[in-house]
């Protein structure tokens, strides 16, 4: 199934203004104080990294 994630940006550092999912060639601007949905296509089980533009803030999306 396609994936929909919601990001809520809770601070104003420029670092957190964009989230990047390199495996999906997808990124989104995150307005401060707002919830931003991000749609990703259906994909194989595995772990997919996401991060800010400078790769300082990071996370992992686990697909089972
Ligand atoms: Cu950053």
Locate the domains of the chain by residue range: 3-63
- Res 37: pLDDT: 97
For residue 10, the CA-to-ligand 1 centroid distance in Å is 14
Kindly report the average pLDDT of the chain as a whole number. Answer: 96
For residue 19, the CA-to-ligand 1 centroid distance in Å is 9
For residue 64, the CA-to-ligand 1 centroid distance in Å is 28
- How far is it, in rounded angstroms, from Cα 13 to Cα 34? 14
Which parts of 2-57 are beta strand (E)?
A: 3-8, 18-21, 26-29, 35-40, 46-51
CB 16 within 8 A of CB 35: no
For residue 35, the CA-to-ligand 1 centroid distance in Å is 19
Mean pLDDT of 22-35: 97
- Res 60: pLDDT: 98
- Tell me the pTM: 0.91
Note residues around ion ligand 1 (Cβ under 5 angstroms). 15, 52, 54, 56
Class of domain 3-63: mainly beta
């Amino acid at each position: 199934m396609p994936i929909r994630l919601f990001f809520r940006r809770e601070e104003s550092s420029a670092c957190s203004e964009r989230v990047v999912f390199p495996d999906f060639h997808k990124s989104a601007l995150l307005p401060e104080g707002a919830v931003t949905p991000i749609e990703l296509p259906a994909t194989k089980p595995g772990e997919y990294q996401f991060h800010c533009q400078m790769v300082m803030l990071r996370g992992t999306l686990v697909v089972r």
